Structure 1
């Protein structure tokens, strides 16, 4: 019995000495969480950069593309003041699909699971469209005259570069970040426009001798290469962190440009980025 008690005392003393010699910073002694659990909460914080590929469509409305040119051509002509020839819709719409590539650069601020930030986004691609149209009408104007008016407009547009400066907001589900954004759309386009008119004044009165018939015409062109276009942007996307700062992206973006040719660009993108 004495031997068992002596052995127990010796083992207890040895165990206490061993515990006293162990380092204080071992995880199971200080009782803290593993570092990975705490850093997940700010996984999206900081600067990031990436590349992307896109595919989409551009819908261009040419109906008012010649309005400005016709206004200049018909300035101070009475029939324009009466019947507003320059506002007649000419041409139609054009839709084009194409692919592109580009990049993005931004900065995120993360507060708990809420993420917001700013981003510059760029795509190089080619969207082309063209259209032309004409109208002709006759009026009993001015007095004792029958006036026939013909106007025509043609235009083409090629968008070569476009992008957006965005404000982003999202909610983090660990390694997944769904987000939405709004911002300013910017782009560069080559735009060619032409407009012309013809007027014929036929005397239909009874004066003897009759008054003379009259006519008039004019044409004006405008070629704007690398023309700056702007508008607004909106869209949705999701980023997925796959490895310590490296993430994948899927996104849809809507752009509308208020250029001489009203243009809407819809694209879907796939990209890869890195957060520093």
Structure 2
């Protein structure tokens, strides 16, 4: 028994001496987790970029908006039958544009202002055809009526709010803007009227509206970033138009 106790005491002394000579290990201090933190991308500063768009437009048409043109047709015999226009005109198209803005960043919160411009090819069309029959069920006159509403350009000034998450910046925006709208109207009839008639009319003007949407910017390298975005635009004028657009963009932050 005394020999066993003597051996145990000797082993304990050797272990204590070795432990005293060993350097501190990081795991004893929790050192393996020291220095690990999520990297934060800086979105502070000015930026510019370009974009491509795809969207659809819906315009509210007055069913009787061509009544002034129709009234100029004097029938050669049978009465012309004019059908009303559909109340809504639609179309899809692509576009392109550019953007520029400034971001301020406070920790992960990013607030900014941006100017955005899009050139569209939207031309929403509403059309109707009317016919008149005699008692023998023969067509004695045919009429056609149409209205085309085009939005070619729209520029807006937006306020943006986002949250920086690594290299991602999801954001929401709201703003107001101005666009360029054209309205082309036309009517025709067969057989032709006895007297010359007004068959077409066109009007172009600046229109105002607002936009709102969601998007995400993704930093690639340096200041280069890509963008994906959805935007809703409403143009308020005598003919109201709603535009839904998705777009992809490429930008650079200085």
Output the TM-score relative to the length of structure 2.
0.63
Contact 2:154 2:177 in 1 (8 A): yes
Residue 26 of structure 1 is matched in structure 2 by none
1:48 aligns with 2:77: no
1:223 aligns with 2:218: no
Residue 148 of structure 1 is matched in structure 2 by none
| 3-state SS, counterpart of residue 116 of structure 2 | strand
Structure 1 runs not aligned, ≥5 long: 1-32, 74-88, 135-151, 196-217
Counterparts of 1:220 and 1:252, CA distance in 2: 39
Residue 102 of structure 1 is matched in structure 2 by 97
Counterparts of 1:91 and 1:274, CA distance in 2: 45
Superposition pairs for residues 63-212 of structure 1, below 5 Å? 63=62, 66=65, 91-131=86-126, 155-193=147-185
1:242 aligns with 2:240: no
The CA deviation at 1:66 is: 3.0
Q: Number of aligned pairs? A: 183
Counterparts of 2:64 and 2:117, CA distance in 1: 26
The CA deviation at 1:104 is: 0.4
Contact 1:185 1:256 in 2 (8 A): no
Output the TM-score relative to the length of structure 1.
0.58
Counterparts of 1:119 and 1:231, CA distance in 2: 16
The CA deviation at 1:154 is: 5.0
Contact 1:182 1:234 in 2 (8 A): yes
Superposition CA RMSD, Å: 3.1
Superposition pairs for residues 13-52 of structure 1, below 5 Å? 40=40, 43-52=42-51
Alpha-carbon distance change, 182 to 173 in structure 1, aligned in 2, over 3 angstroms = same
Counterparts of 2:64 and 2:178, CA distance in 1: 19
Residue 256 of structure 1 is matched in structure 2 by 234
Structure with more of its chain in helix, by fraction: 1
